Amino acid sequence: MIKSLMGVFIGMLCLNAAFAVDEIMPMEHHRMTDTRISLGLSEKMKQHQLADMREHLEAIDSIVGLMAANRFQEAARIAHEKLGLTPQMQRMCGMLGNEKATELGLAFHKSGDELGDALETGDQGKSLSALHNTMQYCVSCHAMFRQ
Ligand code: HEC
C-alpha cells in the first residue's frame, strides 16, 4: 500500500516536471523533438504511404514469427512480395518528393529482396543479419524524414 502510494507520488512528480519543461521552453522542446525533413506529401499520398508502412511492419512481424517456427520458405515469399522491389513499390518510392528519400526507399526494397534470398537458404544467421540490414533502412529513413 505504502509502496504503491509512493509510486503514484513519484509518477506525479515526473509528470509535473515534464509539464514544467514544456512551459519554460516550448520552442526548445519542439526543436529537440523533431528536426526531420518534411516530404511535403499531399493528403492522399500521406494516407497511402502510411498504409504501406503499416504493411511493412506487419511483414517484418510475420517474417520473425515464421523464422521462429522454422518456416523459412514462407518467410522468403513474404520478404519478396511485401518488402522486395516490386513495380508498385518502385513507383511509390518515386513519388516521395525527395531524391534522398527515393534513393533510401529503393535501396530498402532491394534489401528486402536480399532478405528473401537469405531466407530461401534456410540459414538462420544469414537471415537474421539480412533482416537487421533491412531494418536499418527503416531506422535511418525514419530518423531523416517525416511526412
Ligand atoms: C524511405 C523512407 C522510409 C523507409 C525505408 C521506411 N519508412 Fe516507415 N515511414 C516513413 C515516413 C516518412 C513515415 C511518416 C513519419 C512521420 O511523418 O512522422 C513513416 C511511418 C511509418 C509508420 C507509421 C504508420 C502509421 O500509420 O502511422 C510505420 C509503422 C512505419 N513507418 C514502419 C516502417 C517499417 C517497419 C519499415 C522498414 C521495414 C519502414 N517503415 C521503412 C518513411 C520510411
**Chain segment 71-94, per-residue pLDDT in tens:** 999 999 999 999 999 999 999 999
Q: Is 105 exposed, middle or buried (0-12, 13-18, 19+ CB in 10 A)?
A: buried
Q: What is the pLDDT of residue 20?
A: 47
What's the average model confidence in pLDDT over 97-126?
98
Q: What is the pLDDT of residue 22?
A: 47
Which ligand 1 atom lies nearest to the CA of residue 101?
1
Name the residue with the closest Cα to ligand 1, atom 29.
54
Residue carrying the nine cell digits 526543436: 31
Q: What is the best residue among 35, 53, 63, 95 to mutate for testing ligand 1's pocket, by most ligand atoms within 8 Å of CB?
A: 53
Would you say the CB of residue 63 lies under 6 angstroms from ligand 1?
no
Grid coordinates belonging to 79 = 520478404
Mean pLDDT across the chain: 87
Alpha carbons 96 and 121: distance in angstroms, whole number: 33
Alpha-carbon dihedral of residues 29, 31, 37, 38, nearest 10 degrees? 70
Q: Is 19 exposed, middle or buried (0-12, 13-18, 19+ CB in 10 A)?
A: exposed
